Amino acid sequence: MEQRSTSLPLILLTLLTGIALGWFLNDLMRRPAPPLALESPTPLSTTAPTAIVSAGLTATVPTAPPSPPTASPAPTVTLPPPTPESLPTATSLPPPRVVGYAGHRVVAGETLDEIAKRYGSTVALIETYNHLDAPPRAGRDLVVPLLAPTDAGEALLVQRGGTERPWIALTLDAGADAAPTPRILEALRERGITITFFLTGRWMRANPDLVRQMVADGHELANHTVNHPDLTTLDDDAIRRELSETEAILQEIAPGATTRPFFRPPYGAYNERVLRVALAEGYLPVYWTLDSLDSVGEPKTPEFLVERVTRKLNPDDLRGAIILAHCGSDATADALPAILDRFAAMGFEVRKLSDVLR
């Protein structure tokens, strides 16, 4: 009996404790749970679950599996776009350096390639310098630009052009008066004809507007020295200066124009030395087939000049003829329209010297 009385109070105490604990838990469960507090903007770790503690409770928030590592992008090197100067082009190459010139007369069957090899030149240089647009005929006189020192070639003097076509080279020298020149240019312009003018440097300095008009009209300009001296009385250096200064004067007045490759000795005075010096400077000496005589002796009438220029030579000899007249002649300016019209009626074309020499 004593043992039962001792255990009964323990049973009652346990029962009461359980009832009290049940009430407590039931009350706790009916209270709303506070929200889980997440700190922002700190991101959740992608390497381990995060434990969040709030109101004494611990919750484990699952996280996304870690992303696979990505390789860092390779550094990008940006190159500047190519400029026209940096692109390889044919024009970016420097032109070949010409060290001198030689005269050469083409023989039958000879090609430009053979001539270029003989003188250490190139076909392109020879063609460009001599205004060639077709293989040169036998007997054609050429100035050959040299890329290395070589023999001086031949002492040449051109006196006529090719006879294959009915072409005539009317060439006018300008070294004295210029007053008739506008009328000469007008007669040529009205007929669409271009010719070759041999100008002195002194005349160009005195008449720059006429020089520019000649260039604008498409005429061919050639070298007649600066001061119109007798070159046979000058030394080699003086001859060279006469030629080079004339070219420089033209470049000042009409940039881009040139007196090359033709040269006429003043007064028609020359010897072999003069010819060789001129050729070595890149000029082909040009004489004439027929002198109009407009600057020789007594003053000439326009009628005299028309008859002399158009009738003195027979038609066969007129083919390829080089005719000399002067810009300072009033009679030539007056006669020129009739001369040009008569040649046209005869079936002849008046052309530049470079055309007639083809």
**Amino acid identity at 342:** R
Among residues 173, 294, 334, 355, the one annotated as catalytic is 173
Mean of the per-residue pLDDT values of the chain? 83
Q: Which residues contact 116 (CB under 8 A, 6 or more apart)?
A: 122, 123, 125, 126, 144
CATH architecture, range 156-356: Alpha-Beta Barrel (3.20)
Domain boundaries of the chain, sorted by first residue: 97-154, 156-356
Does residue 350 have a pLDDT over 50?
Answer: yes
Quote the radius of gyration of the chain (alpha carbons, Å): 51
How high is the pLDDT of residue 141?
A: 96
> Would you say how long the chain is, in residues?
358
- Mind listing the pLDDT tens digit for each residue in 16-25? 555 555 555 5
Among residues 224, 228, 326, 334, the one annotated as catalytic is 326
Beta-bridge partners for 282: none
For residues 193-208, average pLDDT:
98
End-to-end CA distance of the chain: 157
| Residue 235 is among the residues annotated as catalytic for this protein | no
pLDDT band at 7 (very low <50, low <70, confident <90, very high): low
How high is the pLDDT of residue 94?
A: 67
Percent of the chain, pLDDT > 90?
A: 71
For residues 333-344, average pLDDT:
98
How high is the pLDDT of residue 20?
A: 54
**CATH code, residues 97-154:** 3.10.350.10
How high is the pLDDT of residue 152?
A: 74
Task: Provide the token pair at 103.
Answer: 């005269």
How high is the pLDDT of residue 307?
A: 98
Q: Do the Cβ atoms of 338 and 319 come closer than 8 Å?
A: no
Rounded Cα distance, 288 and 171, in Å = 9
How high is the pLDDT of residue 27?
A: 53
- Mind listing the pLDDT tens digit for each residue in 74-114? 444 444 444 444 444 444 566 779 999 999 999 999 999 99
Q: Do the Cβ atoms of 323 and 169 come closer than 8 Å?
A: yes
For residues 235-251, average pLDDT:
98
Cα–Cα distances (Å) from 47 to 37, 38, 67, 168, in that order, read: 20, 17, 10, 101
| Residue 104 is among the residues annotated as catalytic for this protein | no
